[in-house]
Amino acid sequence: MNAPTTVMEEDRSAAVKERLVVIGNGMAGCRAVEEILARDPARFDVTIFGAEPRVNYNRIMLSPVLAGEKTFDDIVINGDDWYTDNAITLVAGDPVVSIDRATKMVVAQSGRVEPYDRLLIATGSDPFIIPVPGKDLAGVVTFRDLDDVDKMLTAAEKGGSAVVIGGGLLGLEAAHGLSLRGMKVTVVHLMPTLMERQLDEAAGYLLKTELERRGQTIITGGDTAEIVGAGGHVSAVRLKDGREFAADIVVMAVGIRPGTTLAKAAGLEVERGIVVDDHMVTSDPAVMAVGECVQHRGNCYGLVAPLWDMCRALADHACEQPSGYEGSVTSTKLKVSGIDLFSAGDFSGGDGAEDIVMRDASRGLYKRVVVKDNKLVGAVLYGDTADGSWYFDLLRKGEDISAIREALIFGQAFASGGALLDPNAAVAALSDDAEICGCNGVTKGKVVATINAGACSLDAVRSTCKASASCGSCTGLVESLLALTLGGEVQSGPKTMCKCTSFGHDDVRRLILEKNLRAIPQIMQELHWTTPDGCSSCRPALNYYLLCAWPGEYEDDQKSRYVNERMHANIQKDGTYSVVPRMWGGLTNPKELRAIADVVEKYNAPMVKVTGGQRLDIFGIKKEDLPAVWADLNAAGMVSGHAYGKSLRTVKTCVGSEWCRFGTQDSTGLGVKLERMTWGSWMPHKFKIAVSGCPRNCAEATIKDFGVVCVDSGYELHVGGNGGIKVRATDFLCKVTTEDEAMEVCAAFIQLYREQAHYLERTAPWIERVGLDHVKSGLFDAPDTVKRLAAKFRFSQTFCQDDPWARRVAGEDADLHQHLAQVRPLQMETVS
C-alpha cells in the first residue's frame, strides 16, 4: 500500500470524511474495503466489525488447513498492518447485534455503538443444520470457520471415527482432511450422486469410486434419522433405513444459507438473501450488502468468484462511478489433493444443447462439454482439469466456438493447433509407429497395413488386429485411418447398440464379462458412452445385460426399466393398467376365480378377457390401485403373471393323457413344472412356452419360443417359433425320453438365449441370425454343456422367484404408485 499518500489524503479531507461501517470481517467485507480504498482512499472513515477474534483470512483455504497442507498464517489475507496502514478500526470478536436505520447506528454485543453514514452488510452465510434429534450434542460441528477446524483437529488427534453428513464440496473436503488426519471417515449423502449440483452421474460415480479406494465409506441415498449420543457426546449416526455408523465426531456440511438475521431485524427487504440491486444497494440507499448474504437478480451465490465482481460494482457505486454487477457464471474445483475435478456452467443438457463426451477409462478420464448455439455453456472435467480455465474463459466470454467445435473436447492445445482442426489431418500427421490402441499395443502402421490387407470396416479391423476391440477409446482414430486409407470405400460396421455408443450388443456383452463391469455408469464410462446417461434404448438393455451377467449381485435399476416392468402391469392406451395373475400351466380353481371376480367388481374393471396364453386379464386398473388389487390376488394364492415383462410369460398346455383320449403324456403336469421352473426369469425379450400332449398340437407348441410335443416314445423339443408379425414355425431341436430331460434342455436353451441374444431380440430372429446349428452346437457339442447351462439358469432363478407383487403390497417402491399431492383449484391447496 502507498502509505504516505494515504496519510496526506486523510489529513486533507478529514473534516468531510463519511463514516463507513462494515459488518463482517470476512472475504467479502474486506475485499469491498480494498476495492474502495483503491479507488478513493480518502473518502471513508472505515470501521469493520468481525464476529471472529482474528484478522481477515481466506475461508476457502480452510480445507487445506484441515488437511495439514497449509497453516493459518498461510491463509491470512490481511494482517494487522493492513488495518493500521489504512487507518481502519477493526472490532474483532464483538459481533454486531442490531442496526438502527432511523438513527444510523449499529450496536455490538459489548454495547459498543457506532454511527454510520454508509453501512455495508457482509455477514456471509451460516451452515445449515438439519433438524434431527442429537444435533446439539457435543462433537457435532459445522465446517465454516477456523474454530470448526480446530474442533475437528482436536477430535482427529484422538483418532477414531468421523461421520460427515453431506457429500457436497464442503463435506467431501472435510472428509478428505479428517481422513488424512487418520480418522476412519464415513460420508452420508442424501442424494444418489456426490456433489450432484456440480457433477453429473458419470463424474459423481468416478469420484465415489476414487474416494472409496482411498478408504472412505461413501453412503449415497443415506437419510440421517438421528445423531446418537452417549453421556452428552456424539457416539453414532443412525440412518432412516436403520444403518448405524460409529462417530467420535460428526461434521454437518449439508449446505449454507445466507446470513440475513440482522438485515431482516432491521426491516431491510430480505427474501432468500438480502435483496440488492446491480450496485449492491439494499432497500435502504444508505445500506449496501455484498457476498454470500445477498440475493442479486434472484440468485444467491455460495462460491468465492462472484465476490470479486460484486465488490468491484459496490466500490464503483460507493465512489460515485457506478458500473453495475450483472451476475456471475461460477465454476467449482474440488480441493482434494490427487483428485482433479472441475465443473462450470450449465451441464444439464436440454434443447438445442449438444453434449460432447470423451472418456478414457485407462486414464480415469471423463470430459463433457455442453454446446448450445455454437457457444460453450457448461463443462465437467474429471481426471484432467488442465483445460478447466480455458473452457471457463470460453464460457464466460460466450465466444463462438463453431470453428473449433470438432476439436473442442480435446482441449486448448489441440483446438488451437491450426492444421490439427481436422481430426483426420491430425491422424494423418502421426508417425507409423505412433500407438493407436493402447489396450492391445497396436501402432498406426499396423492398423494401416491391416486395412490395406482387406479390412474395410471397423469390425474387420477390430477382429483382425484387435485395434479398438477392447475399451473402444481409439475408435475415432481407427475410423479416421479407415477414411484416410480407403477414401470413400469404408464399409459401415455392425449396427451399434444405439447412438450413445460405437459398440454393438455382442461387444458390450463380451466386455461386461471381460472387464468385470457391474453398474450402468461404469459401463458408460469404461466403454466411452457419448451421452451422459444413455437413452431409452441402451439403459434397459444394459440393465438386462448386467442382471444376466451378475445374478444375485447386480441391483436392478428401476430407472432403466420400461414402464410395464417398473409397474409390474401392462400400460394401456388410456394410461390405466391391465393385470394378469399367474395360472400355472393355464390351470385355475374356484378360489382363484372368485378372487378375480371380486377384484373386477371391487375396482370396477371395465373388462376381463381370456388371453391367448390361457390367462385372465383384468383391464382398467389405475396405478394407485395396483398394490391393493395385488394384495387381494395374493390373498387367494396368486402371484404376478409377468404378462408385462421381457421374461417368461406363460406355459400353455392341453389336457394331455389325464383326460384326452389321444394324449400320450401328462402335458398339463409337465407344463406346470416348466412354469414353476422358469417363472420370474428376465430374458432379452418375452418368452412363451407350450406343451402339447400329442402331435395334434392343441397348445400350438410349434409357434412358441420353446415348444414340447409329446409322443408315445417321449418328448420332441422345438425352439424359435413365433406367432407375431412374422409367423415362424419352430425348428426341431432334439428328442428326449423323460420329463426331467425335457426340463433340463429347456433350462439350458433359455440360458443360452439369455446369454447370447441381443436385448429385444426374440428367439425367432436370434436363431435366424446365428443359425440353428450354432444353437445346437452351443448346447450339445460338449457333453456337459446342457447340464452346466441349466445349472446357471437354476442358480439365477434362486434370486428371481419372489413375487414382485407381494413386495409392492408390502410397501416396496410405494412412490411409484402414489401421486405427489392433489391440486383442488377452488381452494388452491395441496393435500399430500
Partner 1 sequence: MIGDWLDIGPVDQITPGTARTLPVLGGDEIAVFRTQANEFYALVNKCPHKQGPLSQGIVHGNVVACPLHNWNISLKTGEALGEDKGCVPTIPLRVDAGRIYLLRSAVVGQRAA
Q: Is 742 helix (H, G, I), strand (E, B) or coil?
A: helix
Closest by CA position to 26, among listed 62, 1, 51: 51
- Dig out the grid coordinates for 437 from the structure: 490402441
* 531, 588, 697, 801: residue in contact with partner 1 (rule CB under 8 A): 531
Q: In whole angstroms, give the CA distance from residue 358 to residue 379.
A: 12
Q: In whole angstroms, give the CA distance from residue 58 to residue 79.
A: 12
Judged by CB under 8 A, does residue 258 bind partner 1?
no
Judged by CB under 8 A, does residue 591 bind partner 1?
no
Q: Report which DSSP code applies to 330.
A: -
Q: In whole angstroms, give the CA distance from residue 547 to residue 675.
A: 21
Part in contact with partner 1 (CB under 8 A); list of ranges 195-203, 309-317, 459-467, 712-720: 195-203
Cβ neighbors of 422 (< 8 A, separation 6 or more) are 406
Q: In whole angstroms, give the CA distance from residue 156 to residue 190.
A: 25
Part in contact with partner 1 (CB under 8 A); list of ranges 44-52, 208-216, 533-541, 740-748: 533-541
Part in contact with partner 1 (CB under 8 A); list of ranges 15-23, 322-330, 347-355, 679-687: 347-355
Minimum CB distance to partner 1, residue 209 (Å) = 17
Instruction: Please state whether beta strands 341-345 and 331-333 pair in parallel, antiparallel, or not at all (unpaired).
Output: antiparallel
Is 49 or 382 the residue whose CB approaches partner 1 more closely?
Answer: 382
Is 223 or 740 the residue whose CB approaches partner 1 more closely?
Answer: 223
Q: In whole angstroms, give the CA distance from residue 189 to residue 219.
A: 6
Is 378 or 551 the residue whose CB approaches partner 1 more closely?
Answer: 378
Part in contact with partner 1 (CB under 8 A); list of ranges 64-72, 192-200, 645-653, 800-808: 192-200
Is 431 or 832 the residue whose CB approaches partner 1 more closely?
Answer: 832
Judged by CB under 8 A, does residue 567 bind partner 1?
yes
CA distances from 538 to 414, 555, 579 (A): 31, 17, 27
Burial class (CB in 10 A: 0-12, 13-18, 19+), 470: buried
Q: Which amino acid is at 60?
A: I
Judged by CB under 8 A, does residue 534 bind partner 1?
yes
Judged by CB under 8 A, does residue 172 bind partner 1?
no
Is 134 or 222 the residue whose CB approaches partner 1 more closely?
Answer: 222
Minimum CB distance to partner 1, residue 380 (Å) = 10
* 69, 384, 459, 533: residue in contact with partner 1 (rule CB under 8 A): 533
Minimum CB distance to partner 1, residue 221 (Å) = 9
Minimum CB distance to partner 1, residue 283 (Å) = 15
Judged by CB under 8 A, does residue 271 bind partner 1?
yes
Start-to-end C-alpha separation, the chain = 61
Q: Report which DSSP code applies to 270.
A: B
Part in contact with partner 1 (CB under 8 A); list of ranges 282-290, 444-452, 526-534, 716-724: 526-534
Judged by CB under 8 A, does residue 540 bind partner 1?
yes
Closest by CA position to 332, among listed 382, 259, 394, 370: 382
Minimum CB distance to partner 1, residue 813 (Å) = 10
Cβ neighbors of 769 (< 8 A, separation 6 or more) are 761
Minimum CB distance to partner 1, residue 194 (Å) = 12
Name the residue with cell 448450445: 372
Q: What are phi and psi of 46, to 5 degrees?
A: -100, 130
* 184, 539, 728, 762: residue in contact with partner 1 (rule CB under 8 A): 539
Closest by CA position to 199, among listed 329, 60, 398, 332: 332
Minimum CB distance to partner 1, residue 571 (Å) = 6
Q: In whole angstroms, give the CA distance from residue 554 to residue 547.
A: 6
Judged by CB under 8 A, does residue 190 bind partner 1?
yes
Minimum CB distance to partner 1, residue 351 (Å) = 5
Judged by CB under 8 A, does residue 831 bind partner 1?
no
Is 347 or 554 the residue whose CB approaches partner 1 more closely?
Answer: 347
Closest by CA position to 599, among listed 584, 613, 620: 620
- Dig out the grid coordinates for 626 from the structure: 395396483
Within positions 777 to 816, which residues make up the interface with partner 1, using CB under 8 A? 815
Judged by CB under 8 A, does residue 222 bind partner 1?
no
Question: Please, are residues 191 and 270 in contact by the beta-carbon 8 Å criterion?
Answer: no
* 126, 309, 355, 755: residue in contact with partner 1 (rule CB under 8 A): 355
Minimum CB distance to partner 1, residue 277 (Å) = 17
Q: In whole angstroms, give the CA distance from residue 389 to residue 492.
A: 38
Is 347 or 545 the residue whose CB approaches partner 1 more closely?
Answer: 347
Judged by CB under 8 A, does residue 196 bind partner 1?
yes
Q: Report which DSSP code applies to 814.
A: G
Residues in binding contact with partner 1, number by CB under 8 A: 53
Give strand ranges (E) for 518-647.
570-571, 577-579, 607-610, 616-621
Name the residue with cell 417363472: 679
Judged by CB under 8 A, does residue 257 bind partner 1?
yes
> Can you give the binding site for partner 1, defined by CB under 8 A?
190-193, 196-197, 200-201, 223, 257, 271-272, 347-351, 353, 355, 531-536, 539-540, 558-563, 566-567, 571, 573-575, 623, 815, 818-826, 828, 830, 832
